[in-house]
Amino acid sequence: MDISFHASLGRTKLKKREIEISLEKVEICNDTDFKKLNTTYFSIFHRHFSVFIKLIEDDCFDSAISLGRTMLEIYVKSFYVEFVLKEKNKNIIDYIEMRVKLPQFHIMADELSKVKHKNGIGIEDHFIQFTQKDLSTYSKFSDFTHCSGEYLKGYFDSVNGICKIDPNTVLEVLEILNGMFELMFKTFIFVQGRKDLFIGFMDKKN
């Protein structure tokens, strides 16, 4: 991997540590089911993100990107629950206990792409990349998860059974997931009512 990749990985680790330091200041208050589910999604994503970085450092790029596909699903679900189901005043326990199923991935992304700017967090254009009209990001992850496309072909054509993954693909996925983790964190602290941390984090970023 080239210098730009290692620089991006370094920035990702620094940002992750900065977020984890901020998390230590958060006294979690899950006094509603929606808050508790938001905390749950963020905690799972955080755990996966830590493993994702370790896999990247160990050059296990295909395994890292496959895990990234699971993280993408968590990411979209967390925003769908907070910005769509909560607004519709749905009974979230029905979804947790599978009495009612969440829509398919691209349907959730499509609904999120129509959500207007709210509570200081702008998401209306962000989710277009995950809709059925623009599945480029989704497809990048799915090829690895489903062992298909260029990923499968790379292994099939390899001489020694090792697939050489395009460094640009790894770099792009790393930066996508880093951005997801950061936005999930900002949403989490806002849902928790910590506007001070939210504003402070935004000031640092800007």
pTM of the prediction?
Answer: 0.85
Average pLDDT (73-79) is 94
- Above pLDDT 90, what percent of the chain? 42
Give 170's DSSP letter.
Answer: H
Contact 38, 82 (CB under 8 A): yes
CA distances from 62 to 110, 115, 167, 191 (A): 28, 33, 11, 33
At 71, the pLDDT band (50, 70, 90 cuts) reads very high
Q: Quick one: 154 exposed, middle or buried, by C-beta within 10 A (0-12, 13-18, 19+)?
A: middle
Cβ-proximal residues to 98 (8 Å cutoff; 6+ apart), any chain: none
At 206, the pLDDT band (50, 70, 90 cuts) reads very low
pLDDT of residue 22: 86
In tens, the pLDDT along 122-150 reads 565 678 777 666 566 677 777 788 777 77
In angstroms, rounded to a whole number, what is the distance separating the alpha carbons of residues 120 and 97? 31
* Chain centre distance of CA 206: 21
In tens, the pLDDT along 149-169 reads 777 787 788 767 677 788 888
In angstroms, rounded to a whole number, what is the distance separating the alpha carbons of residues 123 and 79? 9
pLDDT for 199 beyond 70: no
Residue at 54: amino acid letter: K
Quick check: helix, strand or coil at residue 91? Answer: coil
Selected residue with higher pLDDT from 130 and 50: 50
